[in-house]
Amino acid sequence: VATSEAELPRLITLYERGIANGVPVELLEPARLRDFEPHAKALRAIHSPSTGIVDYGEVVDAMARELRAAGVAIETDARVTAITRTGDGLELAGRRLAVRARRLVNCAGLYSDHVARLAGARPDVRIVPFRGEYYMLRPDRRALVRGLIYPVPDPEFPFLGVHLTRTVHGDVEAGPNAVLAFAREGYRLGRVSPRELAGTLAYRGFWRMARRYWRTGTYEMYRSLSRAAFARALQRLVPEVTSADLTRGGAGVRAQAVSPDGSLVDDFRIVTGPDAIHVLNAPSPGATASLAIGRHIAALATETFRRV
Ligand SMILES: Cc1cc2nc3c(=O)[nH]c(=O)nc-3n(C[C@H](O)[C@H](O)[C@H](O)COP(=O)(O)OP(=O)(O)OC[C@H]3O[C@@H](n4cnc5c(N)ncnc54)[C@H](O)[C@@H]3O)c2cc1C
């Protein structure tokens, strides 16, 4: 939904991009928007009837079942802490497990740059963790949202902005914000890893990013601490939402690749080496697009590894 005049050209661009890609989208005037989302307020909006929602945990469980049935071994709780090159490949070692491999595909998310370095690569980006916190709409206020209500994304910032999402279980999530996490797996405000935080603070790109985005970053911190500020952001989409309607939900941590010049990498970043492929930035919609990304990486692996 476009809630200001300034957002209208970007909304139209998104609409045109949808049409160009064969997505069945409809441009809505306020009266028509009320047919779909009676409580949303906008100057204009895009309706995307083919948008879907899933319980992603169930998707991953289904993928794991199919992979195991096809003979793939999946190990969890198996952090790789060292990678050495042997005569004919790589040896990945951790506390619990050692694996020999001829080739490596590294998709370690928040630690993808770290694993790339363990494998001898020199990634030109560093992962900076940003926590995304959610609230839930109180059950008696869920009727304010029928589907998914998104703001027009700010092109200056790769994060989407807080939105309202009805889940497959019928509840309504509000969020996520984007606050710097003090540990790569800093799912809670109080989780601090001095070593990882020092690594972030020692990175030149972090300070350049901080200089560029300090205003947005400060506001995000404030909104993380203030439920009223969070509610105000949601009121731009649905004016009737109040802070009393919100209860604390969960949080995720984005693995955001940051370049040495401080820019936030907003596209997928996959680098290849003779015996390894490193997925160094896989932002949203990385989950939705995971099968397509998997196919892309498989093709890349076939092409890259065959050369050696
Ligand atoms: C708050 C939030 C909301 C999002 N919403 C959406 C959405 O609505 N739709 C969407 O499509 N995407 C969404 N995303 C993005 C999506 O989660 C990512 O694009 C996706 O998870 C990236 O997948 P990945 O496999 O690259 O990394 P991950 O899913 O992060 O997986 C990395 C794995 O590597 C493991 N690992 C890390 N280090 C090591 C190591 N040293 N050794 C072994 N294993 C290791 C981790 O434990 C983890 O299992 C969201 C992300 C966040 C944070």
Which amino acid is present at 246? L
Nearest of 263, 284, 133 to residue 210 by alpha carbon: 263
Residue 307: is its pLDDT beyond 70? no
- Mean pLDDT of the region 149-157: 90
Residues 266-292 have pLDDT tens digits of 999 999 999 999 999 999 999 999 999
What distance in angstroms lies between residue 109's CA and the mean position of ligand 1's atoms?
A: 5
pLDDT at 154: 87
Give residue 87's pLDDT.
Answer: 84
CA distance 251 to 280: 21
The answer, yes or no, to whether any atom of ligand 1 lies below 6 A from the CB of 111, is yes
107 lines ligand 1 (CB under 6 A): yes
Q: Please tell me the residue having the least CA distance from ligand 1 atom 46.
A: 108
Structure tokens at 164: 């309202």
**Is the Cβ atom of 252 under 6 angstroms away from ligand 1?**
yes
Q: Where are the alpha helices (DSSP H) in 226-263?
A: 227-235
> Does the CB atom of residue 283 touch ligand 1 within 6 A?
yes
Domain ranges of the chain: 1-51, 56-125+265-306, 127-258
Minimum mean pLDDT among 211-220, 241-250, 257-266, 293-302: which range?
A: 211-220
Burial class (CB in 10 A: 0-12, 13-18, 19+), 179: buried
For 238, the token pair is 């649905």
Token duo for residue 102: 């001829």
- 88-131, pLDDT tens digit by residue? 899 999 999 999 999 999 999 999 999 999 999 999 999 999 99
Distance 254 CA to ligand 1 centre (A): 7
Q: Give the closest residue to 29 by CA, choosing from 161, 233, 18, 15.
A: 15
pLDDT digit string, tens, across residues 8-20: 999 999 999 999 9
Return the CATH number of the domain spanning residue range 56-125+265-306.
Answer: 3.50.50.60
One fold for both 56-125+265-306 and 127-258?
no
Q: What is the DSSP string of 43-87?
A: SBEEE-TT-----HHHHHHHHHHHHHHTT-----S----EEEEET
Determine whether the shortest distance from the Cβ of 254 to ligand 1 is under 6 A.
Answer: yes
CB of residue 282 inside a 6 A radius of ligand 1: yes
**From residue 33, how far is each of 50, 53, 77, 147, 217 by CA, in Å?**
16, 20, 47, 12, 32
For 127-258, CATH number?
A: 3.30.9
**Rounded mean pLDDT of 181-208?**
96
ipTM value of the model? 0.98
Mean pLDDT across the chain: 95
For a mutational test of ligand 1's pocket, the pick from 55, 111, 193, i.e. the residue with the most ligand atoms closer than 8 A to its C-beta, is 111
Ligand 1 neighbour 284 (Cβ under 6 A): yes
